[in-house]
Amino acid sequence: MTNEYISYNCCIVDDEINCAEVLAYEINKVREDVALDKLFTDPEEALVYLQEHQTDILFLDIEMPHLNGFELLEKLNILPKNVIFTTAYDQYAIQAFRYMAVDYLLKPIDRSLLGEAIEKAITNNRKLEKQVIQDIHHKLVSPNTVFNKIAVPVEQGYLMINISEIVLCTANSNYANILKNDGNKILISKPLKYLDEILNSHGFCRVHQSSLVNINYMESYNRRDGGIITLSSGDKVRVSKSRKHAFEKFLLTFAR
């Protein structure tokens, strides 16, 4: 590989040298334009370096002795442009990353998912905020914490939204609109599918290819003409024929 192809640099921080070297090898295989700047197995050494050097992508292990990944980030004066966590955590921890809209890779690293994560990092123009990092860390060390907020990526960065304030989510091409109970509308740079996967355990139901409703704000449901939901916001949402049976079954479950 010659330097003329290098457009982005990355750092790897992982106390397990084998994992770090495998990741470096895979990065080289999936992206010619991403060069490994530094590889650290000591997070404290990484901290010293990252205080003085910006990196385009930081691949960061979470569980490390003396200084874990979250503690390292919290000590930095300026966060890296993009952080991709590498983790062997369980499903609950993965939920925390998803709720906070932060990229992660499960060990052992899958090459295709690595490529997708790098592509997202390169095209990402949002700065990761320390509050988001702190929220994830808190949820991981407090496994009984209930998820009541989500971080949504917007043009300027991230917004923290109370789940209970979301009335309706609608598709907008590769983006989605969120309608809050105060009437504010937010455009996020994630598809509706992303919100559906996070919110479907919070009383939300996908009633149409382009609509995800919070049942807590449903005023009425008219089964005629295919099915129309009226929300407390005044919005009327059509239930698609293909989702009508599942929605009515969901209502019965929700009513119990």
CA-wise closest residue to 15 among 47, 39, 41, 38: 41
Residue 81 shares a structural domain with residue 39: yes
End of a domain among 141, 172, 188? 141
Burial readout 228-253 (b: 16 or more C-beta within 10 A, e: otherwise):
ebebeeebebbbeeebbeebeebeee
Give the tens place of pLDDT for each residue, 191-221: 999 899 889 888 999 999 999 999 999 999 9
* Residues 136 and 172 occupy one common structural domain: no
Residue 18 has pLDDT above 50, yes or no: yes
Residue-wise pLDDT tens digits, 135-150: 888 777 776 666 788 8
* pLDDT tens-digit map of 147-191: 788 888 887 778 889 999 999 999 998 899 999 999 999 999 889
Residue with tokens 């939204």: 161
Q: 168 and 98 share a domain?
A: no
Task: Report the alpha-carbon distance of residue 206 to residue 198 in Å, rounded.
Answer: 12
pLDDT at 15: 94
What confidence category does residue 108 fall into, taking pLDDT thresholds of 50, 70 and 90?
Answer: confident
**Does some domain include residue 130?**
yes
Q: Are residues 50 and 166 in the same domain?
A: no
Angle at 252 between CA 246 and CA 256, to 5 degrees: 145
Q: Return the minimum-mean-pLDDT range out of 10-14, 75-79, 87-91.
A: 87-91
The mean pLDDT value for 232-254 works out to: 90
CB 85 within 8 A of CB 62: yes
Instruction: Give the pLDDT score at 90.
Output: 65
pLDDT value of residue 2: 45
Closest CA relative to residue 126, chosen from 77, 173, 159, 87: 159
What's the Rg (C-alpha) of the chain? 21
Count: domains in the chain: 2
Structural domain includes residue 154: no
Look up the domain containing 74 and give its range: 3-141
Average pLDDT score over residue span 2-8: 66
